[in-house]
């Protein structure tokens, strides 16, 4: 069953990739600037969980970050469109989120950190993007459409709520629902408890994130390889038979280039119950992958419905 939702629906707004791609690309770089500060100052946590952001009632936030006897936190506000650096000694700096180049954002942000006595050096090069431009040189990405940024964040809020429900029956190791600024996606990951087969990876950080069998469920707003927002899911290592397995709902499919299951967002938002449709997709793709990979589902899952 489908319904007709306004483009700016409160919970599930339209998010056409082409309409805000330039703003998305700019925001992606801004989050990488902030994320690299977090990466530089936080201790490593398995699968790089220490570098991720969390969805909040106003945007995204880092966890607390240590710095010379103090801690600080950086929060993006996508309601009033600002960024705040809050320090445990009571000091604070803020800056507007508005159309400006990555280079200008980087310079002002790092200046605010220095003024707060937070001294950090980062590798100022983007990751997980084609043709990366060093932050201090990037005057290509400078758009910021607050309406579409706010829509994207509202979709994150809706998907995050579904992902928290999805996590409930799994009693094995699983990640928080968190935002990855490198790939610019929201996700949670379940683990079988078994190591993944060793293989060669292009980088050390990729190898550290793929040491164990895992099943991811998440959402991304689109990129040059998939030019539409979508819910995504995969099992790693990919088990035989995964690509041709029947999954729910019917609108979902396996994308061979991405090696992931895809559920296009536009169809989801026009359904009678978007949250349930997304949950069905996550449950179906997990059940399929876990069964084909021989996970110990009886030991990893618990029915809390009673």
pLDDT tens track for 153-204: 999 999 999 999 999 999 999 999 999 999 999 999 999 999 999 888 888 7
- What is the domain extent for residue 53? 17-137
Residue 45 has pLDDT above 90, yes or no: yes
Q: Please indicate, yes or no, if residue 118 is contained in any of the structural domains.
A: yes
Angle, CA 291 vertex, CA 285 and CA 294 arms, to 5° = 135
Q: Under a CB-based contact definition with an 8 Å cutoff, are residues 189 and 174 in contact? A: yes
Q: Please indicate, yes or no, if residue 154 is contained in any of the structural domains.
A: no
Q: Please indicate, yes or no, if residue 151 is contained in any of the structural domains.
A: no
Per-residue burial over 41-77, b if 16 or more Cβ lie within 10 Å, else e, is: bbeeeebbbbbbbbbbebbbbbbebebeeeebebbbb
Q: Cα(260)–Cα(264) distance, rounded to whole angstroms?
A: 12
Check whether residue 167 and residue 132 sit in a common domain. Answer: no
Total domains present in the chain: 2
Average pLDDT of 6-34? 97
Check whether residue 167 and residue 295 sit in a common domain. Answer: yes
Helices (H) and strands (E) in the chain, counts: 7, 12
Check whether residue 169 and residue 294 sit in a common domain. Answer: yes
Q: Please indicate, yes or no, if residue 296 is contained in any of the structural domains.
A: yes
Check whether residue 125 and residue 235 sit in a common domain. Answer: no
Last residue of a domain, one of 137, 155, 180: 137
Q: Please indicate, yes or no, if residue 288 is contained in any of the structural domains.
A: yes
Torsion of CA 22, 260, 133, 124, to 10 degrees: 120
Residue 21 has pLDDT above 70, yes or no: yes
pLDDT (0 to 100) of residue 1: 67
Closest CA to 239 of 299, 205, 185, 287: 287
Please write the tens of the pLDDT for every residue from 87-145: 999 999 999 999 999 999 999 999 999 999 999 999 999 999 999 999 999 999 999 99
Q: Under a CB-based contact definition with an 8 Å cutoff, are residues 219 and 155 in contact? A: yes
pLDDT (0 to 100) of residue 38: 98
Check whether residue 183 and residue 271 sit in a common domain. Answer: yes
Q: Please indicate, yes or no, if residue 255 is contained in any of the structural domains.
A: yes
pLDDT (0 to 100) of residue 204: 78
Residue 306 has pLDDT above 70, yes or no: no
Between residues 271 and 199, which one has the greater pLDDT? 271
Q: What percent of the chain has pLDDT over 70?
A: 99
């Amino acid at each position: 069953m489908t319904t007709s939702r306004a483009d700016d629906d409160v919970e599930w707004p339209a998010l056409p990739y082409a309409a805000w791609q330039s703003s998305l690309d700019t925001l992606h770089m801004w989050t990488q600037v902030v994320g690299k500060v977090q990466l530089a100052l936080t201790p490593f946590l398995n699968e790089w969980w220490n570098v991720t952001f969390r969805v909040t009632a106003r945007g995204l936030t880092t966890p607390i970050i240590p710095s010379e006897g103090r801690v600080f936190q950086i929060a993006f506000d996508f309601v009033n469109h600002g960024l705040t650096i809050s320090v445990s000694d009571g000091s604070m700096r803020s800056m507007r989120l508005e159309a400006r180049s990555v280079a200008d954002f980087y310079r002002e942000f790092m200046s605010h950190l220095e003024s707060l006595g937070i001294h950090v050096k980062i590798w100022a090069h983007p990751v997980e993007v084609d043709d990366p431009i060093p932050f201090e040189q990037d005057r290509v990405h400078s758009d910021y459409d607050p309406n579409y940024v706010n829509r994207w964040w509202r979709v994150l809020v809706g998907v995050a709520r579904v992902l928290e429900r999805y996590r409930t029956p799994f009693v094995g190791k699983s990640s928080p629902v968190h935002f990855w600024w490198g790939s610019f996606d929201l996700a949670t990951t379940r683990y079988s408890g078994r190591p993944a087969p060793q293989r060669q990876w292009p980088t050390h950080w990729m190898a550290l994130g793929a040491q164990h069998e895992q099943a991811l469920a998440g959402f991304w707003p689109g990129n040059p390889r998939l030019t539409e927002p979508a819910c995504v899911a995969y099992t790693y290592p990919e088990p035989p038979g995964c690509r041709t397995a029947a999954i729910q709902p019917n609108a979902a499919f396996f994308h061979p280039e991405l090696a992931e299951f895809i559920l296009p967002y536009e169809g989801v938002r026009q359904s009678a119950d978007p949250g349930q449709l997304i949950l069905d997709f996550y449950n179906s793709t997990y059940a399929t992958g876990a069964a084909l990979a021989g996970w110990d589902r009886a030991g990893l899952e618990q029915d809390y419905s009673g």
